[in-house]
Amino acid sequence: MCDLSADHDHFGYLVDAPEIRALIAETERLIREVPDHRTRLDQLRPAFARLLAADGWLPDRYAQPDVKSRMGGGIGQYALYRAKDGSLCLFALVIPSRSRTPVHDHLAWGLVGIYRGTQHETIFRRLDDGTDAGRATLEVQQQQTLRAGEFYALLPPQDDIHDVKTVSEAPSISIHLLANDTACVWRHKFEAEAGTVTAFRSGYSNAPCPPEPS
């Protein structure tokens, strides 16, 4: 396993490990061969499960909280791989014990799974039509507790808005495979009780976002 974090260049493999290369290769194959997103996600499950079950590929520096986190609460978001065109990313999200993410969306299909620790996820359903850019009406759709090795699919708009809290004593680490450059695209942060929504970019803890088009 090689940590290439000093070589960003929009980014390719920031962590070059056989387990990651195998998952990315299978994802790229299925993108070429399977046009339906839901079917593609179903076929990706075995490869994603193998990554979550493997040990030793995640560098310790990418398994730590980030005190400068843009998401707050010491949450670290570490890029592991980014397609040069931004069409696919793999990252590790480190959430300290009892910290919670903002309510947010992803705007991409993908898989999210637990590598270490335990997380409690609250999934929201959006009830309004989105015509008011600054307002959103949400209701709780589902809550679940996830442990190491468990994962779920994202297929927007289904189940795409959630927040996550670490409920284990140690930080939790979740692995995200998503069909965009999640930390660098403009997506949405919600205040569920206030009914407000704002645009945000969470950013990566270990690499700068590519310059936005002028």
> Cα–Cα–Cα angle for 135, 138, 139, nearest 5°?
165
Domain that holds residue 21: 11-200
Residue 7: its pLDDT value, please?
47
Query: ω before 157 within 30° of 0 (cis)?
Result: yes
Alpha-carbon distance 45 to 30, whole Å? 12
Residue 11: its pLDDT value, please?
82
Flag whether 121 is in a domain: yes
Residue 68: its pLDDT value, please?
86
Q: What is the domain-level CATH number for residue 151?
A: 2.60.120.10
Res. 3 pLDDT band, cuts 50 70 90: low
Res. 4 pLDDT band, cuts 50 70 90: very low
Total domains present in the chain: 1
Flag whether 62 is in a domain: yes
Alpha-carbon distance 126 to 24, whole Å? 31
Flag whether 66 is in a domain: yes
For the segment 81-100, the average pLDDT, to the nearest whole number, is 96
Flag whether 209 is in a domain: no
For the segment 133-146, the average pLDDT, to the nearest whole number, is 95
Is the predicted pLDDT of residue 62 greater than 80, yes or no?
A: yes
pLDDT digits (tens, 9 = 90+) for 151-168: 999 999 888 999 999 999
Residue 6: its pLDDT value, please?
43
Phi and psi at residue 61, to the nearest 5°: -65, -20
Q: Which residue has the higher pLDDT, 47 or 3?
A: 47
Residue 212: its pLDDT value, please?
77
